[in-house]
Structure 1
Amino acid sequence: MVRTPLTPEERERGERLGRLLRAERGERSMVEVAAAAGLSAETLRKIETGRAPTPAFFTVAAIAAALGLSMDDLMARCALAPAA
């Protein structure tokens, strides 16, 4: 299967998601949050650094739950700002 290349906007959205999740993790260790979300620390690391810019919905939902974030809030904070 060949994946369609990501657009610059998709990459930027993935980077914003990663920065947001890293900021919300705060002082908690990556291993602790990943374990609470039921995934590997390497997967969380890739998402936080933008190396996995399009993680699966259920992966994001699990991380959000582990961090106490609502999906609505997460989506709103990761959305592109409307053009002026």
Structure 2
Amino acid sequence: MKLSDEILKSLVSFPCPQCRYEVEIQLLDVRVQSYRYCPCCRSRIRLVDADGSMFGELEAIDLAMNELTQALKGMS
């Protein structure tokens, strides 16, 4: 299992654009650009990773973890 997969399962909160109520989502929801409804005002919120930065950063995390694993294996 990659670290990025675990990160995508993480829960984060953000304020609803309409009523400012704190909405909790998984980061995976942003990656797949899904829609969520605010539990307070029922506004439909589209979750967008506009510049695709999440995908690139998750790849960088996996690469860094692979490098760390290889370095630790080399120490033993």
Q: TM-score, normalised by structure 2?
A: 0.36
Structure whose residues are more often strand by fraction: 2
The answer to which structure, 1 or 2, has the higher relative contact order (CA under 8 A, 6+ apart) is: 1
Normalised to the residue count of structure 1, the TM-score between the two structures is: 0.34
Higher-Rg member (1/2) = 2
